Amino acid sequence: MADKILKELTIKVWRQKNAKAQGKFETYKINNISTGTSFLEMLDILNEELINGGTEPIAFDHDCREGICGMCSLFINGRAHGPDDDITTCQLHMRMFSEGETITIEPWRAGAFPVIKDLIVDRTAFEKILQAGGYISVNTGGVPDGNAILISQDDAEEAMDAAACIGCGACVATCKNSSAMLFVSAKVSHLAKLPQGKVEAARRAKSMVAKMDEMGFGNCTNTGACEVECPKGISIGNIARLNREFLVAKIKD
């Protein structure tokens, strides 16, 4: 498709020097952006202009720029990862915007994700949840042959659906309660779907949920907003599975 040029855009962006400072919106103009340019490339161009003009560039998180590492974030025009479905911000392209538009950019906002600078937030609360039990306890070596554990194609596919979570945090950012249920349920489901993970499924569900609460994420009230904004199409069906796993674990206690 032939790319067009957006002659002028207005960028309203959250600037915050560090975790302790007060943040506020700043407004910038940017010209001549090709619609084939990605959103982050647009920010790169804006940053070049800011630096050339003697201003500090806007800090934002990103790395792979292929929609897989989960590092990019950004709340764009009121939506996590911006105005397109099933994508991360690095995959968002400027063809989703129109001439003369004002684009508002904010960081993920959630108590458990404090702002570090500008648009960068601290998501280590997710890692803490994983460290509490998001694994199968197996040491390197001393494992059976891969084909000794038969797994039906459907189970493998379902496990893969859940395992596709990239840990971006869009679900938390978009949830009015800042709940981490979709993320946690994806992890729990992935491992609970597989025979290797069943052995410690109950323990895992309990310790991860306990950690999630401890880290200050809100409760899930089944609004489903998380599923809508998840770039990897993680289903809220996983939340039901987590609840089941959790319940079974409690009954066993």
Q: How far is Cα 145 from Cα 34, in angstroms, rounded to an integer?
A: 52
- The DSSP output letter for 149 is S
Task: Please list every residue from 183 through 202 that binds ligand SF4, using CB under 6 A.
Answer: 183, 186
Task: Please list every residue from 94 through 133 that binds ligand FES, using CB under 6 A.
Answer: none
- Site membership for another protein, residue 231 (CB under 8 A): no
- Site membership for another protein, residue 22 (CB under 8 A): no
Chosen from another protein, ligand FES, ligand SF4, none, partner binding at 130 (C-beta under 5 to 8 Å by type): another protein
- Site membership for ligand SF4, residue 215 (CB under 6 A): no
- Site membership for another protein, residue 55 (CB under 8 A): yes
- Select 211 or 232, whichever has its Cβ closest to ligand SF4: 232
76 closest CA partner among 45, 32, 127, 42: 42
Question: SS3 of 103, please?
Answer: strand
The Cβ of residue 67 has, within 10 Å, a number of other Cβ atoms equal to 19
- Site membership for ligand SF4, residue 167 (CB under 6 A): yes
Choice from 68, 116, 151, 163 touching ligand FES (CB under 6 A): 68
26 closest CA partner among 114, 118, 93, 94: 118
**Strand duo 5-15 + 102-106: pairing:** parallel
Contacts for 230 with CB less than 8 Å, ≥ 6 apart: 86, 165, 170, 171, 182
For residue 12, give Cα distances in angstroms to 43, 67, 103, 150, 175: 12, 24, 6, 53, 23
CB of 107 to ligand SF4, least distance (A): 15
Contacts for 248 with CB less than 8 Å, ≥ 6 apart: 202
Choice from 143, 199, 210, 247 touching another protein (CB under 8 A): 143
- Site membership for ligand SF4, residue 165 (CB under 6 A): yes
Q: Which two tokens stand for residue 3?
A: 């790319």
Chosen from ligand SF4, another protein, ligand FES, none, partner binding at 72 (C-beta under 5 to 8 Å by type): ligand FES
- Site membership for ligand FES, residue 87 (CB under 6 A): no
- Site membership for ligand FES, residue 179 (CB under 6 A): no
- Site membership for ligand FES, residue 65 (CB under 6 A): yes
Question: Given the rule CB under 6 A, which of 43-51, 129-137, 181-189, 217-225 is the region that contacts ligand SF4?
Answer: 181-189
Q: How far is Cα 44 from Cα 40, in angstroms, rounded to an integer?
A: 6
- Judged by the rule CB under 6 A, the positions of this chain that interact with ligand FES are 62-65, 67-72, 88-90
- Judged by the rule CB under 6 A, the positions of this chain that interact with ligand SF4 are 165-171, 182-183, 186, 230-232, 234
